[in-house]
Amino acid sequence: MVASSLQIVVIGAGLIGPRHAQHVHQNPQTQLFGFVDPTPAGANAAEKFNTRSFKSIKEMIESCNETSTPYPDGAIVCTPNSLHISIAAELASHGIHLLVEKPLSSNAEESKALKEYTKMKNVKLLVGHHRRFNPFIIETKKNLKKVGNIVAVQGVWATRKADEYYKVSPWRTDINTGGGALLINMVHDIDLLQYLFGPVARVYAEPLPKERLEYPNADEGAALTLRFKNGVCGTFICSDSVTSPFNFEAGTGENPTIPFHEGLEGFYRVFGSEGTLSAPDLNLYHQKGIKNPEDKSWLSPVVKEPLISNRQQTLHSALPFDFQLDHFVDVINKKQEPFCTADDGMSALLCIDALIRSLKSGLPELVEDVNNILPNYDSLGLDEGNPALLKLN
């Protein structure tokens, strides 16, 4: 490992933390500083990677001070959603740059406070919507222009989660602690949809029948309609309690624990005036070679044109976590600004908030504008976390 490698600490050793640690361990630009986790999982993960283990950020900082060890350059926060803000703020108070797993927090007011605090501390904040770095999504965005004027989008994220998923992390069983398919899973797709088509203005959600009656406080998804600010309309099915391969993980193969479905077509379909684009298969359906607009009707055949020749090659071109980590390194080194900002994270969260409100009201709900959100400084959990001491307007 070269001397210039950045030191990265992973906060949380649950489901996603060790995956991040593996990428940090393998990346020639980074070195795994250690794990912070109060449970035995932290020590076990640290032993596996032959690195340090700390039960708290305070313990890590004290250890660094006692041994004259520089603080980590960056931290990847992989804790339960409800803890993201206070943990990220504590790290930022020591000048440690942040990659915070999605969602940035459980509510936008907390996210706004963290955004302002990191800005004051000159700490970079990257939100971990890593699917923006997926090669299938990169290719989808690159080819959107081929459908002409985008009119509508149709999407689905549907699968059945294992019982163990809830047993190992009970916080996932309650929406008040960040649980539920909308906040855990749909937030990913909302971010991608806004990345592809711009901000969502209005949403409507119909609840799906529940299968897990033992967890009454966690939604299992919904049937959604979306109106984007640019006029594009969309429909979406989100469910974590059905048997289905139609989900991002199975279609792209990015998660090694979920089997890759190589032949899967159309977890997203983008409908335009000149054609329809299907993802992740990257098939373009259009009326090739027709010049006369009058001939572009249902009376002329629609042909399928594959836009990628080898799906396996695209799959293995690079893993999104690798792309994201390389980008985090560039952000820390001030070579790039964060590709997914705090505002992006808040925007996705505000869409989920509107969806949850719609489930309760039974009505369409407007999505709040990020600029109208007032920060909740108390959520930072710091003595200096109030507006007066922050000297913020």
Mean pLDDT of 337-357: 95
Please tell us whether the domain made up of 133-317 is placed in CATH 3.30.360.10.
Answer: yes
For 8-31, write each residue's pLDDT tens digit: 999 999 889 999 999 999 999 999
pLDDT score of 318: 59
Mean pLDDT of 179-187: 91
pLDDT score of 205: 98
Mean pLDDT of 347-362: 95
CATH 3.30.360.10 intervals, the chain: 133-317
- Predicted confidence (pLDDT) at residue 206 exceeds the cutoff of 90: yes
pLDDT score of 183: 87
For 281-297, write each residue's pLDDT tens digit: 999 999 988 878 778 88
Query: Is 324:191 a contact under the CB 8 Å cutoff?
Result: no
- pTM exceeds cut of 0.75: yes
291 vs 183 pLDDT, higher one: 183
* Sign of torsion over alpha carbons 337, 32, 54, 64: negative
**What 3-state class would DSSP assign to 150?**
strand
Mean pLDDT of 327-337: 97
Mean pLDDT of 347-376: 96
Q: Mean pLDDT, the chain, as a whole number?
A: 92
pLDDT score of 2: 41
pLDDT score of 13: 95
pLDDT score of 82: 87
User: Angle 17-26/40-49 helices, nearest 10 degrees?
Assistant: 20
For 207-266, write each residue's pLDDT tens digit: 999 999 999 999 999 999 999 999 999 999 999 999 999 999 999 988 888 998 988 999
d(CA 304, CA 286): 7
- Predicted confidence (pLDDT) at residue 392 exceeds the cutoff of 60: no
CATH 3.40.50.720 intervals, the chain: 6-131+323-340+373-391
Mean pLDDT of 98-115: 94
From edge to edge, which strands make up the β-sheet containing 276-279? 303-306, 283-286, 276-279, 268-272, 150-158, 233-239, 221-228, 200-207, 365-366
Burial of residue 275 (CB within 10 Å: 0-12, 13-18, 19+) is buried
- Predicted confidence (pLDDT) at residue 106 exceeds the cutoff of 90: no
67 vs 2 pLDDT, higher one: 67
Query: Is 187:348 a contact under the CB 8 Å cutoff?
Result: yes
- Predicted confidence (pLDDT) at residue 161 exceeds the cutoff of 90: yes
pLDDT score of 6: 98
Q: Please give the C-alpha separations between residue 243 and each of 211, 240, 349, in angstroms, as whole numbers.
A: 12, 9, 27
Top-tier CATH class for 6-131+323-340+373-391:
alpha beta
Give 175's DSSP letter: G
